[in-house]
Amino acid sequence: MLHEVAAGSLDANLDEVGYRSHCHRWHYRYFFGAMQGIDRSTREVIVAPLVEAGRELIGAHRIRFDYLAIAIGSVTNDFGTEGAAEHCLFLDDRVQADRFRSRLLNQCLRVSRALEENPAADACVRVVIIGAGATGIELAAELYNSAAALKHYGLEAFDASRLKVTIIEAGPRILPALPEKLADAAKAELEALGTRVLTGVRVTRVSEVAVHTHTGESIAADLRVWAAGVRGAPLLKDIGGLETTPSCQLVVRPTLQVTRDDRIFALGDCCSCLLPGATRPVPPRAQAAHQMATRVYDNLRRLMDDRALVNYVYRDYGSLVSLSRYSTVGSLMGNLIGGRMAIEGRLARYVYRSLYRLHLISIHGWLRGMALVLVGHVNRIVRPRLKLH
């Protein structure tokens, strides 16, 4: 839901998990810090120094392990495109989503001020999103939702028609994970909101003010967001002498153990898992990460008890894409419904919201999870719809 944080429609402060209290409640130990290496000879994780305003508060230190599960997620892949790293915003984590929100708001303030001074001014906020997967599409719709609400938050001269979003996708269509009919419905919805959707167009260069494409077009942009695929974090490259793919993901066996060490597991976006009979690795999705966590937990217990490990099986339950309050589209898959079922509208919205509720329940348990769902409902009534600064 980082796209909602980026657009200001979700206040991450209210939804984040406080690991210090969570670990007390669920009986695990939590260390704050970033892994920077692994010493397999001594079985230690090397944690990077904690630095604040250039001052080292805690030096690099080591944490011993008997078994290790690596689940550090992924980073956005800009495929080495010229200028992308310098001039694009990414939505890899909360800090980046907050940065996007702050810049978006500043641009909206600029336009609002220009319109107050001259109502006939040709001022607008131009956002270019590169990548029309779920992240790019959900972000575009959420931006229109926020833009429509801004006039109730002091930006009286601003309205959604002042937001110009362009989505650029290199592939032949948007939302490749969804059936074509649903992707077309999502495209039609976005175009009705005012989005320009370009497919089959490759970005060749990004500058401080524009995005350049292989067709020779340069699209002026106040904000540029790169959301075109993910790769492993660079720090994983050959970490501890483990096998990694060219895109820095740890190669794992079907048991989710890394190829070169029985005691180390990798799961989620940071691993590359090619299952027997499959032609492509398991996709970097939340449902895959969740299922892998269950398999790693069981296999860890088996390893400790000297029992045979079980292979991971990926079950694709489908995908859902939220177009904010405008629509939700998706396809559900599973034995229960006998294949793939396309869903849209209220039902899709309900399932989309339920997934997040189930996530809260798995993290906090039934009682606390349900209480948080209730608090969420109350907050929607009593708190502002948008988080600005």
Ligand X SMILES: Cc1cc2nc3c(=O)[nH]c(=O)nc-3n(C[C@H](O)[C@H](O)[C@H](O)COP(=O)(O)OP(=O)(O)OC[C@H]3O[C@@H](n4cnc5c(N)ncnc54)[C@H](O)[C@@H]3O)c2cc1C
Residue 318 interacts with ligand X (CB under 6 A)?
Answer: no
User: Which 8-state DSSP code applies to residue 282?
Assistant: P
Point out which residues pair with 264 in neighbouring strands.
68
- Among the listed residues 8, 232, 240, 268, the single contact to ligand X using CB under 6 A: 268
Find the binding residues for ligand X in span 344-363 (CB under 6 A): none
- Among the listed residues 12, 72, 124, 361, the single contact to ligand X using CB under 6 A: 72
Alpha carbons 4 and 39: distance in angstroms, whole number: 38
Q: Which stretch binds ligand X (CB under 6 A): 10-18, 156-164, 250-258, 263-271?
A: 263-271
Of all helices (H) and strands (E), which one includes residue 328? strand 327-334
Please report which residue ranges of the chain form alpha helices under DSSP H: 2-7, 12-15, 19-26, 84-87, 94-117, 134-149, 180-193, 286-304, 345-364, 366-382
Number of H helices, E strands in the chain: 10, 22
Residue 183 interacts with ligand X (CB under 6 A)?
Answer: no
Please say whether the beta carbons of 293 and 267 come within 8 A. Answer: yes
Residue 329 interacts with ligand X (CB under 6 A)?
Answer: no
Please say whether the beta carbons of 142 and 9 come within 8 A. Answer: yes
- Among the listed residues 286, 313, 347, 363, the single contact to ligand X using CB under 6 A: 286
Residue 63 interacts with ligand X (CB under 6 A)?
Answer: no
User: Which 8-state DSSP code applies to residue 314?
Assistant: -
Q: Which stretch binds ligand X (CB under 6 A): 18-26, 167-175, 181-189, 279-287?
A: 279-287
Please say whether the beta carbons of 331 and 318 come within 8 A. Answer: yes
Q: Which stretch binds ligand X (CB under 6 A): 77-85, 108-116, 154-162, 267-275?
A: 267-275
Pairing of strands 327-334, 218-220: unpaired
Q: Which is nearer to ligand X, 35 or 183 (CB)?
A: 35
Residue 135 interacts with ligand X (CB under 6 A)?
Answer: yes
218 three-class SS: strand
Residue 3 interacts with ligand X (CB under 6 A)?
Answer: yes
Please say whether the beta carbons of 176 and 137 come within 8 A. Answer: no
Find the binding residues for ligand X in span 28-47 (CB under 6 A): 34-35
210 three-class SS: strand
Alpha carbons 293 and 272: distance in angstroms, whole number: 15
- Among the listed residues 164, 263, 285, 353, the single contact to ligand X using CB under 6 A: 285
140 three-class SS: helix
268 three-class SS: helix
Residue 248 interacts with ligand X (CB under 6 A)?
Answer: no
Site string for ligand X, 197-236 (x = CB under 6 A): ------------------------------------x-x-
Around Cβ 286, how many Cβ atoms within 10 Å?
A: 11
Alpha carbons 287 and 330: distance in angstroms, whole number: 14
Residue 101 interacts with ligand X (CB under 6 A)?
Answer: no
Nearest-approach distance from CB 32 to ligand X, in angstroms: 9
- Among the listed residues 8, 131, 284, 318, the single contact to ligand X using CB under 6 A: 284
Q: Which residue is nearest to ligand X (CB)?
A: 268
Nearest-approach distance from CB 250 to ligand X, in angstroms: 11
Q: Which stretch binds ligand X (CB under 6 A): 151-159, 248-256, 280-288, 371-379?
A: 280-288
Nearest-approach distance from CB 135 to ligand X, in angstroms: 4
Which residues form the interface with ligand X (CB under 6 A)? 2-3, 34-35, 71-73, 91, 93, 134-135, 233, 235, 268-270, 284-287, 289
